[in-house]
Chain A
Amino acid sequence: MKKVYSSAREALDGLLFDDMLIAAGGFGLCGIPELLLAAIRDAGTKGLTFASNNAGVDDFGIGILLQTKQVRKMMSSYVGENAEFMRQYLEGELEVEFNPQGTLAERMRAGGAGIPGFYTKTGVGTQIAEGKDHKDFDGETYIMERGIVADLAIVKAWKADDTGNLIFRKTARNFNVPAAMCGKVCVAEVEEIVPRGSLDPDHIHLPGVYVHRIVQGTHEKRIEQRTTRKKESA
C-alpha cells in the first residue's frame, strides 16, 4: 500500500471534516507538523478540536488556524505565547481544557494503546480532579483520566522510510509519538524519506503500523526562545 504522498494537501485528502478531533505533535514550536497545519488552514475545515500541548504563536503552528477561526477547542497544558489565542479565549470564542502535560501525553498514549482510562496521582486535590473518579491504591489516592482517540493525528518526524517507520531528531520527538499513536489515521510530515532498508530496524522510534500517510517537505523549524552564550565566557 502506498503511503508516500507528494504534498501535505494530498496527504490530507479525504481525512478532514468539520468538528473533528485532531491530535498534533510538537512542544512549543519544536517538532510541530507545520506543513500539515498550513494545509488544514488552506482546506478551511472548521470547528476543530486540537489535542496539542501548546497552541503555537500568532503566525506559526496552530496559531495560523486561530487567525482563521477554525479552532473551537484546545486540549493543552500551556498556551502562554499567543496573543490571538488569548483574545479568543477571553472573549469566550475558544474553549480550553487544561490538562497536566504528563496526563495529556499519557491520555494520547493510552488511547492509542487500547486503554480507555487510567489512574494517576497527578492533579489529586486540585481543580483538575473535580468531577473525576477517585480511587485508592495501596493507601494513595488517584484520579481517573480518559484515553484520547483522535479522528486524525498529525506529526512531524526527521526521517521516514516508505513503509512509515519514523525516526525523530533530539527533543523534536516530544508529543509526536503519543499523538501519532492515538490517531485513527496518522499523517506524518518528514524532512527526508529514505529507501526501505536504509534505517536500522533497531533505531526506529515509531513503527510504521501507526503511520498511514507520509509527506516529505521543507521545514522552517522556527526557534521560540533563542538563548546562547558567548564563546569567550565558556
Chain B
Amino acid sequence: MPWDRNQMAARAAEELEDGMYVNLGIGIPTLVANYTGDKDITLQSENGMLGMGAFPFEGEEDADVINAGKQTITELDRTSYFDSATSFGMIRGGKIACAILGAMEVAENGDLANWMIPGKLVKGMGGAMDLVAGVKRVVVVMDHQNKKGESKLLKACTLPLTGAGVVDRVITNLGVFDVVDGGLKIIECADGVTEQELRAATEATIIN
C-alpha cells in the first residue's frame, strides 16, 4: 500500500529536528505540523510570523492573525511578528532550517517546478521562489505520479522552474529519495512498495 496523505506528512515530520525553525507549504505539508510530537519546532509563516499556532476556536478569529494561505490562525507564547522584508530576510539569509512544500515536478538534478503551467491561469509564485532559494534544506512532499499516471520525478522538468537545483529530499506516496550527484538515490520504500515498483514508477535516473 502506498502512503496516504497523512502517512506522507508523518514521514516528512521525521525530517524535522528539535529546535528547528521551519516553513510549511500549503496542502500535505501543512499536515506535517500534526506529527512533530515532542520536538520543539517553530513554524514560520512568511507573511510575518514565527511561532504559528493552530486554527482559532469559532468566534475567536482575528482578521490580523493569518498565515501565508490567508487562513485565520492563532499565536503562541513564543510568537513574534515582523514585516515582509524582515521575513524574507530570514528566509533568504538561511535562518530557516527547512521548508517542506509540494511540487508539480522534480528533476533528478534538484530542479523544482510548482508555480505555473504554460497556457493555464498563472496566479503567481508567492514566496515559493524565495523559500527554495534561501532555506537550508528543501523537502518536497508530493504524489509520485500525476493524474495520468506519469512520473513527477523526471530527468528534466518540463514546466517553468521555481528553483534550479534546490531540492534536497523528495517524499512521495511510494518512497523517499535524495537528490545526489548523478540522479536520485532511494532512501526508503513506502510500506508494501517494492524497490522494483519504485524504479518502474520513476522516470528520473536512480543511482542505487
Taking Cβ atoms with an 8 Å cutoff, the residues of A that contact B are 27-31, 53, 76-81, 86, 90, 98, 100-106, 108-109, 120-128, 158, 168-178, 205, 221-231, 234
Tell whether B100 is near chain A: CB-to-CB under 8 Å: no
A105 to B85, CA, bound (A): 5
Contacts of A173 in B (CB 8 A): 48, 81-83
Q: How near does chain B come to A32, taking the closest CB pair, in angstroms?
A: 11
Tell whether B87 is near chain A: CB-to-CB under 8 Å: yes
Q: How near does chain A come to B67, taking the closest CB pair, in angstroms?
A: 8
Q: Among the listed A77, A102, A223, which residue makes an inter-chain contact with B72, where contact means beta carbons less than 8 Å apart?
A: A223
Q: How near does chain A come to B31, taking the closest CB pair, in angstroms?
A: 14
Most buried by A among B69, B70, B71: B70
A30 close to B70 (CB less than 8 A): yes
A102 close to B70 (CB less than 8 A): no
A184 to B45, CA, bound (A): 30
B70 close to A29 (CB less than 8 A): yes
B123 close to A80 (CB less than 8 A): yes
Tell whether B2 is near chain A: CB-to-CB under 8 Å: no
B62 close to A226 (CB less than 8 A): no
Which residues B127-179 have CB closer than 8 A to chain A? Answer: 127-130, 133-134, 160-165
B124 close to A125 (CB less than 8 A): no
Contacts of A169 in B (CB 8 A): 64
A36 to B63, CA, bound (A): 19
Given contacts A123-B133, A125-B164, contact A226 B61 (CB under 8 A): yes
B47 close to A78 (CB less than 8 A): no
A123 to B129, CA, bound (A): 6
25 A-B pairs in the complex with CB atoms less than 8 angstroms apart: A30-B47, A30-B63, A80-B124, A101-B88, A102-B91, A102-B127, A104-B84, A105-B83, A105-B85, A106-B88, A120-B92, A122-B129, A122-B130, A123-B133, A127-B160, A171-B48, A171-B67, A173-B48, A173-B81, A177-B84, A225-B70, A228-B56, A228-B59, A229-B54, A230-B58
A174 close to B84 (CB less than 8 A): yes
A205 to B164, CA, bound (A): 36
A126 close to B47 (CB less than 8 A): no
B64 close to A77 (CB less than 8 A): no
B71 close to A225 (CB less than 8 A): yes
Q: How near does chain B come to A63, taking the closest CB pair, in angstroms?
A: 14
A78 to B160, CA, bound (A): 16
Tell whether B66 is near chain A: CB-to-CB under 8 Å: yes
Which residues B82-118 have CB closer than 8 A to chain A? Answer: 82-89, 91-92, 111
A102 close to B88 (CB less than 8 A): yes
Contacts of A28 in B (CB 8 A): 47, 66, 70
Q: How near does chain A come to B155, taking the closest CB pair, in angstroms?
A: 17
B133 close to A124 (CB less than 8 A): yes
Contacts of A105 in B (CB 8 A): 83-85, 87-88
Q: Among the listed B58, B63, B86, B164, which residue makes an inter-chain contact with A126, where contact means beta carbons less than 8 Å apart?
A: B164
A59 to B67, CA, bound (A): 22
**The 7 nearest A-B residue pairs measured at CB:** A125-B164, A102-B88, A102-B130, A80-B123, A177-B83, A78-B124, A101-B127
Q: Which residue of chain B lies nearest to A176 when distances are taken between CB atoms in the complex?
A: B83
A128 close to B129 (CB less than 8 A): yes
Contacts of A86 in B (CB 8 A): 121
A29 to B57, CA, bound (A): 21
A126 close to B163 (CB less than 8 A): yes
B84 close to A27 (CB less than 8 A): yes
B121 close to A177 (CB less than 8 A): no
Contacts of A176 in B (CB 8 A): 83
A106 to B92, CA, bound (A): 11
Tell whether B122 is near chain A: CB-to-CB under 8 Å: yes
A224 close to B70 (CB less than 8 A): yes
Most buried by B among A30, A78, A100, A109: A100
A177 to B81, CA, bound (A): 12
Tell whether B8 is near chain A: CB-to-CB under 8 Å: no
Contacts of A226 in B (CB 8 A): 61, 72
B47 close to A121 (CB less than 8 A): no
B45 close to A171 (CB less than 8 A): yes
B64 close to A221 (CB less than 8 A): yes
Tell whether B19 is near chain A: CB-to-CB under 8 Å: no
